[in-house]
Amino acid sequence: MTKPIFDIGQICELDKWETFINGQPFDTFKRLRKEAPIYWHEESLEFEPGFWALTKHEDIIKVSKDPLTFSSAVGGHLMTMGDPEVVDPAAVAAIIGNMIGMDPPDHQIYRKMVAPSFTPKAIRSLEDDMRLKVRELLDNVSDKGEFNFVTEISEQLPLWVLCEMMGIEDSQRPRIRDLVNNLTDASINADPDKSMQVWFNYMELFKMGRDMIEERRKNPTDDLMSVVANTKVEGGELPPELLDGFFLLMVIAGNETTRNTITGGLMALTENPEERDKLIKDPSLIANATDEMLRWVTSVIYFRRTATKDTQIRGQDIKKGDKVVMWYGSANRDEDVFEDGHLFQVDRPNAKKHLAFGAGEHLCLGNRLGHMQIRILFEELLQRYPNMHSTSDPVRVPSNFLAGISELKVTI
Ligand code: HEM
């Protein structure tokens, strides 16, 4: 590691989930943007020396658009994959073996394979059914007093959409939800006594995916799993670890992110009643308000890259092999782009500039789908229950990667 030009000492433990348990450390991010926009963060793990923390909107876009210098494949897209002496390489291959952990040209081959399911036309075709599902979910809570918004509403919609797209049977949906919940809880993942449980959870998910693939190869259908099962790359079927990786990516990326943005969106409306009123008076603001929710919540906290050669960012030397971590929550409050970024404003003129979906090569493939779910949910919710609001603080999922909320009590 070369000496950082912005050296302000160790100010906060961004590598620990405990730092995020009351929400993202926005004050620390603000200080970093001002005093050390390319900040060397030491790590508490013996096998990982540290990472460069990127907190500026502009730098995160540059890095995301240069996948050959800042790789997702070398070292993966998570801050750590665990101790290389201990972790099974086959497990790592399955966990990161999907398009999010690839660089060009492989990345484009795999992205193109599933892209037709995510075109604007394909997404629009889901809108009517999605609206009916939202209405059903809202009907189900009509006579409830106080209830958990996460279990009744926000986790239900993305799970339903994803399972419909992928062709996952009704009977398997609750189990998928529980497995995904366990795998995104960092306190479970970091507990050595629970390492076998985590491993079994992965195995169970992979088995569900493999069973579906086998079935779709025998009896092709028109769902996304059938597309993947029957795609040939270079004349052959996809290798099993890629199929595992694809299934895992979809069930985590498609579920958690949208769910947490919806929950955070309701918190934003509760904390800002004047913004809710604006939206009720002028429903045409809903698409912009959706982007503002995505920005304000930033449900994916970071993704990582690894430098493939000696390079520089903002004049700071970055050595080949250095880890670079992009803090999206910070970019989304960067004062160079967003005025008073800590405020939630449904009519913010440039809300769309948020980086909640990342940028560049790996820009979220599900961005239109995620946006549409959030938009339809709040369109319907505000018509039906204009006063629905939270009555308690959120219970957060321990993680420095996904801004998860497992409970938010609300009343209509
Ligand atoms: C609010 C909702 C969502 C948020 C905040 C979100 C966030 C992100 C981010 C930040 C990335 C960039 C990864 C990187 O640069 O390494 C990403 C990639 C991805 N997301 Fe999403 N996502 C959301 C919804 C979805 C949905 C609904 C799906 C699918 C059903 C999905 C599927 C994917 C996939 C497949 C990638 C990888 C794309 C690639 O590697 O080319 N996401 N997402």
Q: Three-class SS string for 300-367?
A: ECEEEEEECCCEEECCEEECCCCEEEEEHHHHCCCCCCCCCCCCCCCCCCCHHHCCCCCCHHHCCCCH
Query: What distance in angstroms lies between residue 76's CA and the mean position of ligand 1's atoms?
Result: 15
In a domain, residue 10? The reply is no
Q: Which domain holds residue 99?
A: 17-411
Average the pLDDT over 333-340 and give the result: 98
Q: What is the CATH number of the domain that holds 91?
A: 1.10.630.10
How would residue 239 be classed by pLDDT, with cut points 50, 70 and 90?
Answer: confident
Q: What is the pLDDT of residue 181?
A: 85
Q: In Å, what is the CA distance from 131 to each residue of 124, 126, 136, 338?
A: 11, 9, 9, 32
The pocket around ligand 1, CB under 6 angstroms, is made up of 64, 72, 77, 99-100, 111, 162, 249-250, 253-254, 257-258, 261, 294, 299-300, 303, 356-358, 362, 364-366, 369-370
In a domain, residue 5? The reply is no
DSSP 282: -
Question: What pLDDT digit, counting tens, does each position of 340-370 carry?
Answer: 999 999 999 999 999 999 999 999 999 999 9
How many domains, the chain? 1
In a domain, residue 7? The reply is no
Query: What distance in angstroms lies between residue 248's CA and the mean position of ligand 1's atoms?
Result: 12
**CA 363 – CA 100 distance, rounded (Å):** 10
| CB atoms closer than 10 angstroms to residue 78 | 17
**CA 25 – CA 309 distance, rounded (Å):** 31
DSSP letters spanning 93-123: HHHH-SGGG--TTHHHHHHHHHGGGGSHHHH
Report the nearest-CA residue for atom 17 of ligand 1: 364
How would residue 7 be classed by pLDDT, with cut points 50, 70 and 90?
Answer: confident
Contact between 77 and 101 (Cβ < 8 Å): yes
Here the tokens at position 207 are 């088995």
Q: What is the pLDDT of residue 91?
A: 66
Question: What pLDDT digit, counting tens, does each position of 57-97 carry?
Answer: 999 999 999 999 999 999 888 888 766 666 666 667 767 77
Question: What pLDDT digit, counting tens, does each position of 245-261 carry?
Answer: 888 889 888 888 999 99
Query: What distance in angstroms lies between residue 357's CA and the mean position of ligand 1's atoms?
Result: 6
How would residue 119 be classed by pLDDT, with cut points 50, 70 and 90?
Answer: very high
Q: Which atom, in ligand 1's list, is nearest to the CA of 363?
A: 12
- pLDDT at position 2 over 70: no
Contact between 265 and 295 (Cβ < 8 Å): no
Which residue of 106, 364, 367 sits with most ligand 1 atoms within 8 Å of its CB, as the best mutation to test the pocket?
Answer: 364
- Give backbone dihedrals phi and psi of 307, rounded to 5 degrees, phi first: -70, 135
In a domain, residue 3? The reply is no
